[in-house]
Structure 1
Amino acid sequence: MKIEAESKMSKARTCSLFNRKSPLALQYTKQGSIPHLIGKENKLLNVALEHFIDLVQPQAQRESPRKEWDRTFHEYLGYSNSTIVATNSDINRLAKDYVKGSSKGIGMSGNGNFKLAVTPKMAAKLLEMTKPDLAILGDPQQAIYSDVININKGVDQPLVLSANQERKAHKRWYDWLDEVAKNTTAPLYACVSGSTPFPIQESAKHIVATLDSRMLGYGIYLPSNCDILNEKVSKEQLDRMNTLWNDNLSSFIANVPAEKPRAVFGIANFKDIVRAVKAGVDIIDNSWLEPVTFAGNFYFILGYAVIASFKHQIDEASHKLPSDKRVKLLSNHAIVLDLNKEQSSTTVDGTSILPTTISVWQKDLEPISPNCQCWTCKRPHSRAYIHHLLCVNDMLAYITLMEHNIYQLENFLQEIRDSIEDGSFDSLANQYLE
């Protein structure tokens, strides 16, 4: 890895990775396909090994099992020019359904919600069969995701592991990782274990001291944050998660080699991206775009600020309403975010929200963002058309929004890369984090 530019006042940097400049976003996929998009060549794809665990575990096979597998991920998915990065688990699944492992296996959820503990031998065999360009392996502990899981259940009680539980979890993870590294030729990044700063520090020191020669980089799973639009999240809960998120990230960065790439999972919004890059992270995940898009959100980015995000709430009850009443119902859930805090009404993270009537889009023939160069806006699909698609819950609504959101995120990362190179990153970061 070659560091090409660094911020003078923070640890933000641009590096040469996969013949591209960092910071980079891993594109979230399901079964290797970007949600709602078909046949789209992408720069950096994240493929979850658990989606393909049936290749090495007959019990996890689907009704039409992939018995004769003689292809790599590149050949199977048809992405000849993309870089495919494998991770243990589906990132979005982790915050909804934690799968316990065994004394020697890491918990994964296969096709058909089949849960099993995957041994090092199984993981190494799967990596040899599929041949990803890189595997970022980690063992996300239950404590990391307990906050968001409990919040969604209406429970406000974080899970705290004892020191003994943390030690056992790290030993299992270290032994698993060591065994996989011995039995695969796949390039590897090692994720450190731990749910609080001190265990993360100890885990990082142990892995770096003993496995560094076999690892091309390092990663970490941070506490799964909640989108700022989640009405179930209180200010106290968000503050707790943000504090733990920052503390764990700092502990990770301080204890892994600066000359090797760093990957972070647990990004939930644009502020998280800025915080991670400012700390010195090179690779982030964009899995949060999938649930955000499926909820009917889309983003505008202008200069240094995300200036607007509109949200449609469509549920089973609203589907049964006449179209005129459905539009009226949806309009009550549309909001605009004002990150410049020019209004008095504030959300739990300090940004302002302004109620708006999305039904005014019924006759608006402008694209989502007139200056956006994504496929959705260039075609252009008008706001009125997308409004209609959302109201009738047509799949094309999510295709158009996913195209737009991915483009906006990539543009944002390009803006970050440019700001690091021209020395203005700290000014950009202050716009988000002040």
Structure 2
Amino acid sequence: MEETTTFQGLGHLFMTIFLYGFSAFIVIPVMTDVSMAAICPGKDECSLAIYLSGLQQVITGVGSLMMMPLVGSLSDKHGRKSLLTLPMILNIFPLATLAYSRGTTVFYIYYVLKTLISIICEGSVLCLALAYVADNVSEGRRASAFAILTGIGSCAFVCATLCARFLSISATFQVATTMAILSTMYMRMFLPDSDGDNNLAAPIVSNEKLSSALLEDYPGHKNRISKVIRSVCEMASLMKSSVPLFQVAMVSFFSSLGEAGLHASSMYYLKAKFHFNKDQFADLMIISGVAGSISQLLFMPILVPALKEQKLLSIGLFFGCAHIFLLSVAWSSWVPYMAAIFSLFSIFPHSCMRSIVSKQVASNEQGKAQGIISSICALANVISPLAFSPLTDWFLSERAPFEFPGFSIMCAGFTMTIAFIQSLMMGSP
């Protein structure tokens, strides 16, 4: 009976993540075109768009760096479901803004709103979902459960991107807004509290009074915030004292730095070199998403018991490096499509790192530990645009010191290589 309840809870969590991911992913293929149409209409190269994207990433990363450990720690105390509510509600507003209009003025309103809200929302839903899974799944099955969660996200990515491929830009944002609202309603109505939530003294939120409960727990209660900060510092000390946790932290930082560099540069690079538009971006993402879904839902549950997380981590990082280096030297428009197939293996590290971390901490510290890893990824997202946005702009412009449009992407590949080398030095988790 208890296993059935747990299975149903995970099923509702997976559906929540699918709906939320769909709303977030469906707008990705169109954002480059929307941004450039609002800022630099009629152009295939736009320095301002690149720098605004980088600035947003820096601000979001700094905010996430501060917020993720706090959100994770509060979820250990007040429950995963309660903390999920806030970012899922806030996520609706930027999407609704562009669903209303995509003119220059409205775009800048969206830009400010999205940047501020992403400080809280960026990564928090995934972080809390991972902690929820850790609450309800035994250690031996946790890596497979994390892989399924990631696979559900990949399925949402594929479905959303496929829809974006055939929808108009205005319809895309309308659908995204509707799905964001639906995901929040579904989560509040059907997702049960996790096993860890049942032992809480008092919830942070009720269905009726989310805002007032949050205000009671944050401003004016400096002692509570100080306790949370101290607990985060203790977890950081644990990262240093525990060799596996420290190694995962290093791998997480450099792999996230490489991924962030790739994502910050690749779309502008492909648009400038091969004149890609939203349809080509969508096709590329569909290939990558399908490969990632197959990998996480079918391969990972089979390979984890046989090879363990550490070996799969190294394999995934190796193919991640290959993907980035191949894309950086793309000589034809079909090469990015071939490189996207490497997502079949390059998606391994996400689930593997989270599983290794979850096995190193107690059950009442899962949210805090996942939050720390998320904050490390956020730190990489802060550093990445500072380095890669100027490089991307420089080597896509006529001012480039030599002809190599993919130079910034190759530099991202070097940082991923550092993560790969570090993973080879790790012992068994």
TM superposition score category, shorter chain reference = under 0.3
- Richer in strand (by share): 1
Q: Based on CA coordinates, which of the two structures has the bigger radius of gyration?
A: 1
- Richer in helix (by share): 2
TM-score (norm 2): 0.27
